[in-house]
Copies of this chain bind each other. A is one copy, B any other.
Amino acid sequence: MGELTRLVREFSTERDWQQFHDPKSVILALVGEVGELAELFQWVPAEQAVAQFSDPARQARAAEEMADVLVYLVCLADVLGVDLGEAARAKLAASHVRFAADQVRGVAPHKP
């Protein structure tokens, strides 16, 4: 994650694009990429999605959109001074406590 942060920052700096990277703008860019990811899957039957995207060309397209999402997420973390890897580890640790395996096994958490 550290190396990726360095690469993303370098890319923006070389182009003098940090001036555009206020948090709200980067989140909108992230939303744009999530939208492109969603469009790849929208009409694929749910139970065929994994199989259809095992095709190398479609897997590569999905990988590309996922990469775009990650790049903007890393960019946002850099702008906000957030250690993304550490945040993810901390969140998973908290989720281990919040969703005790014995109590939620096989049951999807239900949004009220």
A: residues with CB less than 8 A from B are 1, 4, 7-8, 11, 14-17, 19-20, 22-25, 27-47, 49-50, 53-54, 59, 61-64, 66-71, 73-74, 76-77, 79-85, 87-92, 95-96, 99, 101, 104-106, 108-112
CB-defined contacts of A90 to chain B, threshold 8 Å:
67
**A4 smallest CB distance to B (angstroms):** 6
**A50 smallest CB distance to B (angstroms):** 6
CA distance A44 to B24 in the complex (A): 9
Q: Is B22 in contact with A49, judged by CB distance below 8 angstroms? A: yes
CB-defined contacts of A4 to chain B, threshold 8 Å:
85, 88-89
**A67 smallest CB distance to B (angstroms):** 4
Q: Is A99 in contact with B33, judged by CB distance below 8 angstroms? A: no
